[in-house]
Amino acid sequence: MIALIDCNNFYVSCERVFDPKLKGKPTIVLSNNDGCVIARSDEAKALGIEMGTPSFMIKDFIRKHNVRVYSSNYTLYGDMSARVMRVIKEFIPRTEIYSIDEIFADVSSLTHTNPTELAMQIRESVMRCTGIPVSIGIAQTKTLAKLANRYAKKTRPGDSVFCADEEWKIQDILAFTQVEDIWGVGGQYHRLLKKNGFHTAADFINAPEGWVRKEMAVVGLRTQQELKGIACTEWQDEVKGKKNICTSRGFGKLITTKREVQQAIGTFTSSCAQKLRKQNSCAQRIHVFVQTNIHRKQDDQYFHSITLDLTVPTNSTRELLKYAMRGLDIIYRPGFKYNKTGVMVMDLVPADQTQLGLFESDTSGAKEKATMTAVDGINQVYGNDVVRMAKQEFNTKWKLRQNHLSKCYTTRFKDLMKVKAN
DNA sequence: TCTGGGGTCCTAGGACCC
DNA sequence: TCTGGGGTCCTAGGACCC
């Protein structure tokens, strides 16, 4: 049996841990640039605030209903996530972190324990150690566990735990779940399934396999199998390195000079390089893109991207910057109001398995590596942006808008909470 | 009139996830 | 004024090979 444990309204819950006054109050967390709603408390959901709504569209509504608003604070959420995961791993050795707020756990190895009781214990323990409420669904496959989890949230608000260990419970969940709420069914497949008369997961299970294969490819077929209790997704016992790494950002305001775009690209490239070195990988290709604001109908639109092959796989900031700037030179067009750019490093290979270029000497590689290690070391101790490459410069024009940012309570000494005792 | 067949690799784009 | 960011996997079709 597989358990899916996920944090309820995770980002909002993180904010609530450090400001208990938010309890019972409608609260939302916004995406970068304070753009869209990406997390909502139950009270905010009850008010009808939808996921993904641009915040400026509901400004008046927010004020009217006194909705508490936060900019996203990923430093805080990342650290809280690690704490939650640590607690869960103490109960179940075999786990697989699926996202910042979700983890699969293999509970079949713990045969001596009743899964429901175990789930209750985990829930209680996570709440006590971190202050974060979680829901837990247990079933035969990952897909069914996802459904069980959702079922628990919707029908068991008290304990938020559901274990589908009997046939009638599985049937209950399948009949309860609309096709669009199945893990693996998005907008396209939702329309397709509805059009063909499949409304619930129970309906979908009865769709002919040939039809599913033809219309939804093997991915759809796998989802269907998983719903029937046949496991099709492999268990990932070790954390796999990423195959691509991307850093991209929309700007707080529109940008019109090449120099500013270069600064942004420089910073994003440097960020990609750091992430590469952290997972001990080198990239073989780099992808750069620029775009204008697609929502501004009154502006001329421009989108262009380019992918460059690197002669030698690398994770050196300097080397990657060279290619990124070359790419930007090719795709940049003056006269547009740019809104967003990004850099992606692709086709990653382990850093220790890279081949030297024909004209590269081993000593130059070693020197570059030593430089980067030093840069990372200094930045780690003194903050992320102390040492930079020339192209990054220091510029705040295109930085994020974050008007409602909470503090880094758990990762920065000056943000530690103070407790007064009389 | 009539122009092979089978395989691999790569890429772009689509679908999905949180 | 203002609309997120970061990923994965699969597939179709073209290029290329013998």
Which pLDDT tens digits describe chain A residue by residue (422 residues)? 999 999 999 999 999 999 999 999 999 999 999 999 999 999 999 999 999 999 999 999 999 999 999 999 999 999 999 999 999 999 999 999 999 999 999 998 887 789 999 999 999 999 999 999 999 999 999 999 999 999 999 999 889 999 999 999 999 999 999 999 999 999 999 999 999 999 999 999 999 999 999 999 999 999 999 999 999 988 888 888 999 999 999 988 899 999 999 999 999 999 999 999 999 999 999 999 999 998 888 889 898 999 999 988 999 999 999 999 999 999 999 999 999 999 999 999 998 876 555 556 666 677 777 777 777 777 766 665 666 665 555 555 667 788 999 999 999 888 998 888 87
Strand B atom within 7 Å of A187 CB: yes
Strand B atom within 7 Å of A244 CB: no
* Other CB atoms within 10 Å distance of the CB of residue A351: 16
The gap between A365 CA and C5 C1' (Å) is 32
Residue A132's pLDDT is what? Answer: 98
The gap between A347 CA and B8 C1' (Å) is 19
Q: With contact defined as beta carbons under 8 Å apart, do A245 and A272 qualify? A: yes
Residue A234's pLDDT is what? Answer: 85
Strand C atom within 7 Å of A217 CB: yes
Residue A40 token pair? 């909502």
Residue A112's pLDDT is what? Answer: 76
Q: Which pTM does this prediction carry?
A: 0.92
The gap between A313 CA and B9 C1' (Å) is 20
Residue A297's pLDDT is what? Answer: 86
Class of residue A272 by CB neighbours under 10 A (exposed 0-12, middle 13-18, buried 19+): buried
Across all strands, nucleotide nearest A72 (CA–C1'): C4
The gap between A345 CA and B16 C1' (Å) is 22
Residue A279: its H or E element: none
The gap between A418 CA and C17 C1' (Å) is 71
Strand C atom within 7 Å of A33 CB: yes
Strand B atom within 7 Å of A99 CB: yes
Strand B atom within 7 Å of A183 CB: yes
Strand C atom within 7 Å of A40 CB: no
Across all strands, nucleotide nearest A99 (CA–C1'): B18
Across all strands, nucleotide nearest A294 (CA–C1'): C3
Residue A421's pLDDT is what? Answer: 86
The gap between A285 CA and B9 C1' (Å) is 17
Across all strands, nucleotide nearest A31 (CA–C1'): C4
Q: Kindly list the distances between the CA atom of residue A154 and the CA atoms of A43, A46, A285, A288, in Å, as whole numbers in the listed order.
A: 15, 13, 45, 43
Strand B atom within 7 Å of A245 CB: no
The gap between A285 CA and B10 C1' (Å) is 14
Strand C atom within 7 Å of A254 CB: yes
Specify the 3-state DSSP secondary structure of A260.
Answer: helix
Q: With contact defined as beta carbons under 8 Å apart, do A339 and A254 qualify? A: yes
Q: Kindly list the distances between the CA atom of residue A9 and the CA atoms of A4, A67, A164, A324, A362, in Å, as whole numbers in the listed order.
A: 15, 15, 23, 38, 50
* Other CB atoms within 10 Å distance of the CB of residue A204: 24
Alpha-carbon torsion A258, A264, A266, A272, what sign?
A: negative
The gap between A210 CA and C2 C1' (Å) is 47
The gap between A316 CA and B10 C1' (Å) is 26
> Which A residues between 102 and 161 have a beta carbon under 7 A from any strand B atom?
102, 146
Across all strands, nucleotide nearest A102 (CA–C1'): B18
Residue A374's pLDDT is what? Answer: 77
> Which A residues between 250 and 269 have a beta carbon under 7 A from any strand B atom?
none
- In the β-sheet with A2-7, what is the strand arrangement from edge to edge? A95-99, A102-106, A2-7, A134-139, A161-163
Residue A370's pLDDT is what? Answer: 79
Considering only CA atoms, which of A24, A33, A9 is closest in space to residue A405? Answer: A33
Strand C atom within 7 Å of A246 CB: yes
On strand C, nucleotides with any atom < 7 Å from a protein CB are: 1-12
Strand C atom within 7 Å of A295 CB: yes
